[in-house]
A and B are shown apart, each in its own frame.
Chain A
């Protein structure tokens, strides 16, 4: 399998604090890779570094061998590396369908001026976006909420909408920010299926997550961070048996340990 994303010796300092320290790993095509770690391990920072919402102090992130660190987030998204956010980050005032339609931005063939003038290309784009949005909405089981204003949706649906927005950009790699956080057991089971479905569409998934059982269940491989340092990498089984990981997690009592 080819390595789509390479994280190479990435370090991020905030003043004296080293949030991410010399972390390297690779994400292979069409796998589900999870980054886990106790609170404050640097997961979120790493996530932002990969999606280029932050620039690394040293080291670099490569996508298909090309450096993406330092590029603006919208350019990284254009290349095919798209992040989702935790649930509150949606276009609150728009309907579910409009949220997904607007997220088709990268697929437009028409220019802004074209959209303003309503050229044929623009109209074809609009039709295509509508069709594709409906398909994604049905795929993520949001059909009944299609015309609801996004801010009125419950938790689980918001998460699904976040993923729908991500999928609409037609990503090669989708970065999911804690897709199972705050979910009960049933919701998590559904969400895990949803993420599997995303991979079935040919999308590589990199997720950052707290929920251990879900991570163990869904991941092909897992990277474990602690205090900004990568302490382990491997299959779920290897991680479960890793001494360092067990130690790191026993040290943090507020974490749910699923093994």
Chain B
């Protein structure tokens, strides 16, 4: 019963985002929405990573560092080594995961505000590194990165060469949404498998977890690596779309936003970061009309939301369910 309902919900969601949204955009001529929604999809992937670190009880304000890292890894591989973008996408994720293991081993021992502070610094370190390293081309960044090429297996074209498309935006939109769906499917499985329970046990009491034989250091690193993998993936895809990357492409503000997306959507719900990113991104754009008051209204609404909906927007749904 529940299974059928879940499958139905996923089918409806896929239909809406893969068919409904493009149809609406074409019908209304609001082609700019492609870019906006692509951004939402990619940012929600990075936010999903942050959500995983929340799930093991760590406040992560460093996802910007891994998004930046992933972006540069992909850009450098494409530009300097001529590697196909589609291959650099997983490589960027894996590179970030590997880096996060090295970084995570020492810093994951920290808890609470201490971990949060270190991750915050991490974003800044990543920016400074991008400025200083010769391979990243410093402040000038990397521009005119070629569009992703096509993929074909046995002559069957799976993805067309993006450079040959008159308008690559719908293609980017579709690829990003598919990527997002895959990432959230992986996350959903993680949370609903025994690993999810183990992560929760870390979040609720690390000492007790280790007393029942859980290798907490190992599990923390695995979760952080998964988190950073998603950050790198999102960052790499972003770079492909904007065809450029600078040290300031992902900054502390982005790191904070990734975290806010999770808060806003709900830390107790797998799809929290997706909803949170969507609402935050569109909320910000929506308030553009208010001019100089944009930030003021935006922040006030955020504070109010956190006060009245501490468990995120998705807790509204549960509330409604209980009443109904």
A89→B205 contact, CB < 8 A? yes
Residue A237, interface by CB 8 Å: no
* Known A98-B197, A102-B198; contact A85-B212, beta-carbon cutoff 8 A: no
Provide the residues of chain A in CB contact with B198, threshold 8 Å.
Answer: 102, 105, 112
Cβ-defined contact, A105 with B193, below 8 A: no
A74→B213 contact, CB < 8 A: yes
A85–B204 CB distance below 8 A: no
Of residues 193 through 208 on chain B, the ones whose CB sits less than 8 Å from some CB of chain A are 193-195, 197-198, 200-201, 204-205, 207-208
Residue of B204, B208, B212 with most partner-chain A CB within 10 A: B212
- Contact with A93, one of B195, B200, B217 (Cβ below 8 angstroms): B200
Q: A93-B204, A112-B222 given as contacts; is B212 within 8 A of A106 (CB)?
A: yes
B204:A92 contact, CB within 8 angstroms: yes
Residue B190 CB within 8 A of the other chain: yes
Min distance, Cβ A80 to any Cβ of chain B, angstroms: 10
Residues of B within 8 A of A84 (CB): 211
Report the interface size for chain A: residues with CB under 8 A from the other chain: 35
Contact between chains at B193 and A116 (CB < 8 Å): yes
Known A72-B210, A74-B215, A112-B195: A91·B204 in contact at CB below 8 Å: yes
Asked whether, in the complex, the Cβ of B213 is within 8 Å of the Cβ of A106, the reply is yes
Q: Which residue of A lies closest to B204 (CB)?
A: A91
Nearest residue in B to A168 (C-beta to C-beta)? B212
Residues of B within 8 A of A122 (CB): 194
Q: Determine if B97 is an interface residue (Cβ-Cβ < 8 Å).
A: no
Decide yes or no whether B270 CB sits under 8 A from chain A: no
Q: Do B201 and A89 touch across chains, with their CB atoms under 8 A apart?
A: no
Best-surrounded residue of B189, B198, B204 (most CB of chain A within 10 A): B204
Whether A83 is near chain B, meaning CB under 8 Å from some CB there, is yes
Q: How far is the CB of A83 from chain B (nearest CB, A)?
A: 5
Q: Which B residue sits closest to A106, measured CB to CB?
A: B213
Give the size category of B's interface with A. 20 to 34
Chain B residues with CB under 8 Å of A6's CB are none
**Min C-beta distance of A158 to chain B, whole Å:** 12
Among A51, A74, A169, find the residue whose CB has the most chain B CB atoms closer than 10 A: A74
| Interface positions of B from 255 to 308, Cβ below 8 Å from A | none
Residue numbers in A under 8 Å from B212 (CB-CB): 77, 82, 102-103, 105-106, 165-166, 168-169
The answer to whether A118 has its CB under 8 Å from any CB of chain B is: yes
The listed residue (A53, A101, A115, A169) touching B213 by CB distance below 8 A is A169
Expressed in whole angstroms, the Cα–Cα distance for A93 and B201 within the complex equals 9
Given A103-B212, A168-B212: A85 and B207 within 8 A (CB)? yes
B79 on the A face (CB < 8 A): no
Task: Tell whether, in the assembled complex, residue B207 and residue A105 are in contact, meaning their CB atoms are under 8 Å apart.
Answer: no
Residues of chain B contacted by A166 (CB below 8 angstroms): 212
> Is A78 at the interface (CB under 8 A from chain B)?
yes
A94 in contact (CB, < 8 A):
yes
Is A73 at the interface (CB under 8 A from chain B)?
yes
State A108–B214 Cα separation when bound (angstroms): 11
Which of chain B's residues has its CB closest to A85's CB? B208
B66 CB to nearest A CB, Å: 21
Judge whether A89 and B208 touch: CB under 8 Å: yes
Complex contacts, B217 vs chain A, CB 8 Å: 72
Say yes or no: B194 contacts A82, CB within 8 Å: no
Cβ distance B3 to chain A, nearest Cβ, rounded Å: 14
Q: Which residues of B contact A169 (CB under 8 A)?
A: 212-213
- Name the A residues within 8 Å of B204 (CB-CB): 91-94
Closest chain B residue to A108 by CB distance? B194
Q: Mark A99-137, 1 if CB is under 8 A from B, else 0.
A: 001110110100010011010001001100000000000
- In the complex, B216 has a CB within 8 A of chain A: yes
Q: Is the CB of B216 within 8 A of A91?
A: no
List 6 A–B pairs whose Cβ atoms lie within 8 Å, in order of A's numbering.
Answer: A77-B210, A82-B212, A89-B205, A91-B200, A91-B205, A94-B204
For the complex with contacts A102-B200, A105-B213, A112-B222, 18 further pairs of A-B residues with Cβ separation under 8 Å are A72-B210, A72-B215, A73-B211, A74-B211, A78-B213, A84-B211, A94-B200, A94-B201, A94-B204, A98-B197, A103-B212, A106-B212, A115-B193, A115-B194, A116-B193, A122-B194, A125-B194, A169-B212
